[in-house]
Chain A
Amino acid sequence: MLMSIILLILAAGVPYYLILEKNKKLNSEKIFLISSFLVLCAIVISSFVTGTYSSLLVIISLLSAIFSIYKATKTTNFYKFGYYLLFINAPFFMLFIREQGVLYTLSLLITLGGVYSIAKHYDKYYGSANYHGISGTTLATPYVGAFLTVYLITLALYPPFPNALFLLSSMIKEEPTLLWYIVVVIVFLGNFMVAMRVMPRTVFGTPNTNLHYVDLTSKEKIIHFIIIILLLALSIIGFKGAIA
């Protein structure tokens, strides 16, 4: 039980970012990194836990997920967007059978790694990771546009990317209850709405004439290619799991 509560705090979205956000020394980037690290710890710790999580933990994580969905619709900062998505997806970590939940969370972290790299790029060239005024990247910086599109599609739970395939395979193998259906429907639509909302704001649209757009450097491109390859590798695992 104690282990379950620790996991709940680490990964299942009791929104400790509320406290962290109040700390002036911690900016959004640091909160994103801390949250990701804690979720990684949760993945490791979960391998020591046997059995399934109680419904109460799932309900708590669902409530914090709903709150995170609300918060995510308010932000225009890639870092914040990243850690909100971690907590939106937390119920899946608790709900799915252990292996599927871990793989799902891992692929989520890798995708968010991609978003983090884009955020760093924005930070470096435009002064902040705020995407509000930097629209039309598909036209102005095609590589940033393409990679960001892939990440957002992945977060919106679309195949052929792994999150959707792990979700599909978990959904077929689970024995659904009413709570299960409620969680899946809310998180599925929540992920979609949050991820797709970013697309018209930054990827699509007319480029801002006051900005000098800079596309990815070769080094950055390599990082993104590695992330995409990792995602595709996970996709293959997810696909095999789904049709098995």
Chain B
Amino acid sequence: MLSSMIALLGLYGTYHVITTDEPIHGLGGLFVFNELSAILVPYVAILGLVIRKYATKYMWDEPGYKRFFILLNFIFSAIYMLVMSNNLVILAIAWQLMSISLYLLVSFNVASKSAVKNGSWTMLIHKGADLLFILAVILTYQTFGSVDLGQLSQTWLEMSKNPIDNPTIFVIGLLFLVAAMMKSAIVPFHIWLPYTSEAPTPVSALMHAGVVNVGGILLNKLAFLLLLTPAVLNIAFVIGLFTAIFASVLMLVVPDIKRSLGYSTAGQMGYMIMEVGLGAFSLAIYHLMVHGIFKATLFLESGGLIRYARHDPNIPQRLSYKLFWEEKTEHKSNKTFNLIALFTILPLLIFIGVKMVLSEEFFEFNAAIVILAFGWLTGTQLFLSFFKVSRSDSIKVILALVSSFIIILFTYEFVGLALEHFIYGEHALLFYGAATLNVTIIMSMVALAAIMIIGWLFMYKQHFVDIQKSKMPKRTQWLFYKLLAKEAYVPDFFIKYIKIFKKG
């Protein structure tokens, strides 16, 4: 009931902001319901409503039912506080409240030794993020003489007109960035997320859809500060890109499905930070919301699916199953270059068409092309992984993929542009300028084509060619596989060297 009311209130606030174009200030200016809050508060509220409704049934026979809901409300309060804060001190308090509530939720199953241990890892990394955040707040106050975010944003915007070279501002930006990276599970701070799957399913849904996104939310709240620190944006891009690739590769290698989902989220967070690094701040918000809804659905559905599977020993059949999975006897021959042509040239043409129809700034907004290529590849790869596309249905697959690509492009572009104009208005283009990673149109097209060709060749080998059983992998391949299977030895490092929580 209360959740529904909060969601309705959030939606009313959004309506108010859209219609009047005026933010709502509260508690003496400590909180603000501005354009960013207008998007995020209803998102969090609706997510909260679904998770609570799910949890009432899912958790009813678990010990500590009351404790669970107290902690759930505690973390949601912290998220609302974080989203709506208009003061760095309030933001710092909310930032820390999230850490502690997350720790208690991850360790909810207190009787489990591994749940508590993994919760401790989470806590350790989040405490590091808290410390860096507080140091950044102090430096901000010392440098700009205020902790009011509204005032600070104005100051930063003014300062960005005449760029200055102040190392302290770079340090502040870097501290905020690293704090955001730690909470958003970006490499090398990713390790807490894949190991938190022992938390109750609603907590996993909340964590992957909400908590892990706070890094992106923070960087959006401090967007105007990052105008002054192009180097920080470049660092964000590089680390985000690395995380996206590294975590996605680990996702494919780790044998544990829950850890695999954890790495998938870490990879998506990498995209999000990369988008920030390219100056596409509003796209990062869109990305975190879309990914959040997708992951929450995935986690919440998992319980129901298991229940369904228990009643029916066969895997539940759906339309997608019949279309793509079911074995067919007929086989049609398709040459590799035909497939490559279909999967590269056609999407490229569609892409250019969509961009030109929707965006006037087509030639100014080249960096986003690279992101879209990555986004599309991830989507299609996921598509293939889920439905195990077989060779016999290649025409259907092509049609499905092309149509899905058009839909993805339109929504991504349309919503991205709409969000960009809604949140930042005419200032949005400043961010792309500050990112200093201006990719030319030819470079981006070449990169896009190359990525698609490599991606599709890889997928073709994975899905269309029989594996030669007699061929043994080379020693270097084994070593590479071992490195990935051991998650680059990062968990081992934690276990070996960080023993502060070891049980006595």
Q: Which residues of A contact B (CB under 8 A)?
A: 73, 76, 132, 136, 138-139, 142, 149, 153, 156, 158-160, 164-165, 168, 171-172, 174-176, 181, 185, 188-189, 192-193, 196-197, 200-201, 203-206, 242-243
Contact = CB atoms under 8 A, between A and B. Distances in A.
A168 B134 contact: yes
A197 B141 CA distance: 33
14 contacts: A73-B500, A136-B111, A153-B100, A158-B97, A158-B99, A159-B93, A171-B137, A171-B138, A172-B89, A176-B138, A181-B135, A192-B127, A200-B501, A205-B110
Interface string B99-117: 1100010010011010011
Contacts of B473: none
B131 A189 contact: yes
Contacts of A196: 120, 123, 127, 500-501
B188 interface: no
B220 interface: no
Contacts of A139: 63-64, 110-111
B84 interface: no
Nearest to A171: B138
B180 interface: no
Given A200-B501, A243-B90, A160 B110 contact: no
A243 B503 CA distance: 39
B96 interface: yes
Contacts of A168: 89, 92-93, 134
Contacts of B120: 196, 200
A181 B142 CA distance: 14
Say whether chain B's binding surface is mostly helix, strand, loop, or mixed: helix
A204 B138 contact: no
A5 B410 CA distance: 71
Which of A132, A165, A181, A192 has most B Cβ within 10 Å? A192
Contacts of B131: 185, 188-189
Contact of A243 (B89, B110, B141): B89
Nearest to A185: B131
Given A159-B96, A172-B138, A189 B127 contact: yes
Contacts, number: 86
A192 B130 CA distance: 11
B110 A164 contact: no
Nearest to B142: A176
A197 B498 CA distance: 12
Contacts of A242: 89, 93
A159 B135 contact: no
Contacts of B500: 73, 193, 196-197
Given A196-B501, A200-B117, A242-B89, A159 B134 contact: no
A203 B113 CA distance: 12
A191 to B, nearest CB: 10
Contacts of A204: 107, 110, 116
A160 B141 CA distance: 21
B141 to A, nearest CB: 5
Nearest to B109: A204
B226 interface: no
Interface string B187-229: 0000000000000000000000000000000000000000000
Given A159-B96, A206-B111, 12 more contacts: A139-B64, A158-B96, A158-B97, A160-B93, A165-B93, A168-B92, A172-B138, A188-B131, A196-B501, A197-B501, A200-B117, A201-B503
B87 interface: yes
A164 B96 contact: yes
Contacts of B123: 196
B244 to A, nearest CB: 30
Q: In the A-B complex, list the 9 residue pairs whose CB atoms are closest, starting with the nearest.
A: A204-B110, A158-B100, A159-B93, A204-B116, A206-B111, A200-B116, A138-B110, A242-B89, A193-B500
Contacts of B67: 138, 142
A63 to B, nearest CB: 20
B30 A205 contact: no
Contacts of B107: 200, 204
A37 to B, nearest CB: 30
B137 to A, nearest CB: 7
B96 A205 contact: no
Contacts of B117: 200
B147 interface: yes
B78 to A, nearest CB: 10
B504 A160 contact: no
Contacts of A159: 93, 96-97
A76 B110 contact: no
Contacts of B110: 136, 138-139, 203-205
A172 B113 contact: no
A218 to B, nearest CB: 20
Interface in B111-156: 111, 113, 116-117, 120, 123, 127, 131, 134-135, 137-138, 141-142, 147
